[in-house]
Amino acid sequence: MQSVTASSVRSRIRAELVEEIKASARRQLANEGAAALSLRAVARDMGMVSSAVYRYFPSRDDLLTALIIDAYNAMGERVEQAESIVRRTDYRGRWMAVCHAVRRWATENPHEYGLVFGTPVPKYAAPADTITPATRVTRVLVDIMIDAVRTAALTVETETVPKAVRVDLAPVRSFFGEGPEQLGDDLIVRGIMAWTHLYGAISFELFGHRVGSVSNHDGFFDHEMRRIAAFVGL
């Protein structure tokens, strides 16, 4: 008994240090950018010697991977939380809650956002365990559309999708389980476009490409996401 608690104390401290290292790395990310993230700087910041960090992360890339997974999960959690408190039948409200939650998280954590949605870090290949966290937000958006279709609340005149594009949609359906069978080809296309637009708008704002075009970013984003919601029939 004694030994068990003692051991778990050690592992708890370990877990805390892992978190501290990641927090420090996140801070460095904000100052220097992903490419310049260095283990030595993290160690310095933590008051340890650089080799000590290797007890927690076997390499720089593993630390980067951990940050990416954390970023996806942080974003996913924020989105799920924000969406969950909206009345279930208010599909448009749920959709807008997701859009705003993504944007809010992104503006609060621009460098983590950039790590995930910006230029890929050179020489870094994202491992498979980033996939699941990466789809959390999309999952929520898809579910809203499915719910709306099920209750016949989706109002949109569907258009025909060319065969060349239609073929592509099978993997999407299968990825999201049985739900999307209920979405027609046209709605899946619209969904992918909406998803693209959401991140496109946020990236444009955060990466400075709307300077000179938009100054009231909040207002514009809200308005355009409303239009995108309408575009998918919500």
Partner DNA sequence: TGTACATCAGTGAACGCGCGTTCACTGATGTAC
User: In the complex, which residues of this chain contact its own copies (CB under 8 A)?
Assistant: 31-36, 114-115, 117-123, 126, 131, 159, 161-162, 164-165, 167-168, 171-172, 175, 189, 192-193, 196-197, 199-201, 203-204, 207-209, 212-216, 219-220, 223-224, 227, 231
CA distances in angstroms from 39 to 17, 21, 71, 82, listed in the order given: 14, 9, 19, 34
For residue 180 the two structure tokens come to 């999307």
What residue 38 binds from its own copies, DNA, none (CB within 5 to 8 A, per partner kind)?
A: DNA
Separation CA 69–CA 71 (nearest Å):
5
Residues that bind DNA in the complex, under the rule CB under 7 A: 3-4, 6-7, 9-10, 14, 17, 37-41, 44, 48-52, 54-56, 59-61
Separation CA 70–CA 150 (nearest Å):
33
What residue 10 binds from DNA, its own copies, none (CB within 5 to 8 A, per partner kind)?
A: DNA
What residue 88 binds from DNA, its own copies, none (CB within 5 to 8 A, per partner kind)?
A: none
Question: Residue 229 in contact with residue 96, Cβ under 8 Å?
Answer: yes
Cα within 13 Å of Cα(7), Cβ side: 4
What residue 233 binds from DNA, its own copies, none (CB within 5 to 8 A, per partner kind)?
A: none
